[in-house]
Structure formats: structure tokens, C-alpha cells
Amino acid sequence: MAVTAKDVAELRKRTGLGMMECKKLLTGVDGDLEKAVEEARKMGVKTKVASREAGEGRVASASEGNRAVAAELKCNTDFTAKSDVAGEVLDLVTKKLLADPGLDVANDAEIKDKLVAAGQSTGENVQITRTAVVEGSNVGNYQYSVTNKVAALIALDGGDDEVVRDLGLHLVANPTVALGATKDDLPADMVAKERELAVEAAKATGKPADIAEKIAEGKMQAFYKERALIDQPFINPDKFKGSIGEMLKQKGATLVDFKRLSVGE
């Protein structure tokens, strides 16, 4: 029986072994997938690792020069998420992204080998599921270190380290997650749906169409204030009472980019 690429991929999925080792196992049993799985088990390999749902996770972030990066790792248990094994994988990924922001993480050989090793040592489905990069003249990363499950990246023109930290804190701690920098950056389909619902809700109270549109516009302004980062009130009014846009202006900073990674979102 011939060894097919499909069977090699399936054996890798079920064992977490590298592609060449999977091919070698299949060749040794004339391409019989089930026998190859048995041989892997005889070697002490825990099979079907990749079929388990990766419901837990951890994020890591870093910044250097004009670049800030973050990565999300998913696995099966919180124990593994907090382990040194997960930390080592994330450390490798963030270092590589800092060096090469265009890195194809999914196909990087060193990262793939590290993930396979992590899967084998933990018996879990360990994956890098998302990455993020921002660049600018003033960049930083902010991570909630108690759980390591949420991190933010900030890129500004101007400003100082303090405003970067304050904006990072806001992005991580604010219960209403910003979906765009300004209202024009919000997903168009979401904005259209919110407007439609607002108009229909106003009409349901018996208001004429023109009045319903005005009421809906008022509701949309509130929606923008909730979801557009620049319009959100800064989370710590004791330090600065006003919007993020106003805070940045006071600091002489302009928002270039931001990213937020949170496990499960």
C-alpha cells in the first residue's frame, strides 16, 4: 500500500509527531494508517492529541524598537496554559515576530517542532491560534499578568511611555471592548444592523419615520462612544476625566494602531 500525503497528515494529527517521522512509520507498515497509529502507541506516543478541543489558553506580548507583538496559545487545560512549556512556545513565537513581523507562524519549522514537542510532553492539543503586530514611532505592550489571558498592543505617533501604559490598561481592563479606532473603523455590517434595530425600536413606540431616524441617530452616537476607542471614556477618571481621544490630544499623541488579544474572544 502506497504512503499518501493525506495519511501522513492524518497520522501527524493523531499523534503530534513530525511529518518525516509519520512518513517513516507509515512506510514501515506499508502505508496502513491504523497500524502506524499502533506503532506510535508502542513508542509511548499519546494518540489523538489533536482531536481534543483546545479550550484553554494564554497570551504573551513583547515590544522592541518600533514594533510590538502578541501571540495566543490554545491548549486543553489551564494547567498547561500556565506551564513553562506554554511559556517557552510563546517566547519563541514573540521573539520571531519581533525579528520578522511577516513571519508565517503556521509554517515556521522551528515553531512547528516546538508545538509538537509541547503536545507530546503535555498530552494536549497545543496550538498558536492568533498573532498580532503593530508598528509606530512610540509602541508598547500591556498584559494582564495575573491571568496572562489578555494583552494589548499600542502604536502612537508622539506621546510618552505613560500614555502608552494608560492606553494599554484601558484596552485590557475596559469591559466594553473597542472594535475600531474611530466610528469609521467599526465593522460596516455591525453599524448597519445597530442602526436598523434602533430605527425599528423607535418606530415600535409609534414615532413617525423622520422622528424615528433622529432617535436612532442619538442611539448610534451612544453606540460609537461604546465601541470606537477614540470616543470611549478613559477607564480611570481619577487620573483623566474625558475620552481616549482627548487624553491622547493632551499628551500630544496620535493613535496609529492598536490590537487586543484575549483568550476566548
pLDDT of residue 119: 87
- Tell me: the pLDDT tens digits for 45-93? 655 555 556 679 999 999 999 999 999 999 989 999 999 999 999 999 9
Instruction: Place 264 in a pLDDT band, splitting at 50, 70 and 90.
Output: confident
**Burial status of residue 203 (CB atoms within 10 A of its CB: 0-12, 13-18, 19 or more):** middle
What DSSP element (H or E) covers 58?
strand 56-64
- Tell me: the pLDDT tens digits for 180-213? 999 899 888 888 888 888 888 888 788 777 887 8
Cell of 5: 500525503
pLDDT of residue 253: 96
Nearest to 93 by CA among 77, 75, 116, 110: 110
pTM: 0.75
Distance CA 134, CA 138 (A): 10
Cα–Cα distances in Å, from 249 out to 32, 46, 242?
66, 56, 11
